[in-house]
């Protein structure tokens, strides 16, 4: 675990360096706070709300890197992603708004996460927490914190939306293959719908525990026997595999662990 410099920050007065988006999740098929208040067990308590805040703050401030697997083999553009680091970048658009100048960048150590002035032109700080190859992608969205409401009732903090119906996506994800005959993906977050575009997929969706956080996860792998494509998913292990025997190609995806910053005594 990396060791971070101790610091104090005023922040937004809510435990974060920004104001989390408020979302009424009552209309979704799945939702869960980081402490486990969810669609099936929707009654919050002060203790569970406080625990969801603690976990959300830990993820936002201290998540350093995601260890994952997003690997494609047997294709002309085969590649692999095993780690996603959180970095930051500061740009200045005062000279040319269409071509901002990078004035600072580097690893997003906790002290560098003290401000996210998205609309404070001309100088803006943003975060980079995604990695893309030709056929693979992975991300860990440390700003994907949502204040969840079950109707008018605040139930706690969770992560963002998991797209299960169109172009699959999650606050935390790993995907490989990237086409209709070779693809495997694992996507996790706080809320989403029951999948319905899965006629050519093996898939699973449900609640999981990952690094002490309660999440909603969706997994998919292409499964088209007529073109020699077989897919398997494992929700409890957050892993998916697709094998195209006609191409002698494989796509694998998994979420393995998160490395968090710690602080000196």
- Domain borders along the chain are 21-85+130-260, 87-128
Instruction: Outline where DSSP puts E strands in the chain.
Output: 21-24, 30-31, 63-73, 79-85, 87-92, 101-107, 123-128, 130-132, 136-140, 145-150, 153-159, 161-162, 172-179, 182-189, 191-192, 201-210, 213-222, 229-234, 239-244, 249-260
Q: What pLDDT score does 188 carry?
A: 98
Instruction: Determine the longest span between alpha carbons in the chain, in angstroms.
Output: 60
Residue 110 gets which letter from DSSP? G
Q: What pLDDT score was predicted for residue 116?
A: 52
Residue 19 is predicted with a pLDDT of: 84
User: Tokens representing 245?
Assistant: 């025997």
Contact yes or no for 157/53 (Cβ under 8 A): yes
Q: Do 61 and 112 meet the contact criterion of CB atoms below 8 Å apart?
A: no
In which residue ranges of the chain is pLDDT below 70? Answer: 10-12, 115-121, 197-198
Neighbour count for residue 156 (Cβ, 10 Å): 27
Decide: pTM greater than 0.85.
Answer: yes
CA-to-CA separations, 244 to 34, 74, 229, 249, in angstroms, rounded: 36, 9, 4, 5
Give pLDDT, residue 119.
Answer: 53
């Amino acid at each position: 675990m990396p060791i971070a410099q101790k610091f104090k920050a005023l922040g937004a007065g809510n435990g974060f360096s920004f104001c989390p988006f408020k979302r009424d999740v009552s209309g979704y098929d799945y939702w869960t706070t980081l402490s486990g208040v969810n669609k099936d067990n929707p009654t919050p308590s002060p203790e569970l709300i406080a625990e969801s805040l603690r976990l959300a703050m830990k993820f936002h401030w201290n998540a350093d890197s995601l260890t994952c697997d997003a690997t494609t083999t047997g294709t002309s553009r085969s590649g692999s992603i095993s780690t996603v680091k959180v970095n930051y970048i500061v740009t200045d658009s005062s000279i040319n708004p269409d071509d901002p100048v990078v004035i600072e960048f580097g690893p997003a150590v906790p002290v560098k996460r003290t401000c996210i002035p998205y609309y404070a032109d001309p100088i803006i700080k943003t975060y980079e927490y995604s990695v893309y190859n030709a056929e693979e992608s992975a991300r860990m969205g440390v700003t994907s914190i949502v204040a969840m409401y079950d109707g008018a009732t605040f139930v706690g903090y969770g992560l963002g939306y998991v797209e299960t119906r169109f172009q699959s996506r999650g606050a935390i994800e790993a995907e490989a293959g990237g086409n209709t005959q070779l693809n495997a993906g694992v996507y996790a977050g706080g809320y989403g719908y029951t999948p319905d575009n899965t006629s050519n997929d093996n898939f699973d969706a449900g609640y999981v525990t990952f690094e002490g956080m309660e999440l909603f996860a969706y997994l998919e792998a292409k499964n088209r026997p007529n073109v020699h494509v077989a897919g398997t998913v494992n929700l409890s292990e957050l892993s998916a595999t697709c094998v195209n025997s006609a191409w002698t190609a494989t796509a694998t995806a998994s979420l393995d662990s998160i490395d968090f910053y710690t602080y000196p005594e």
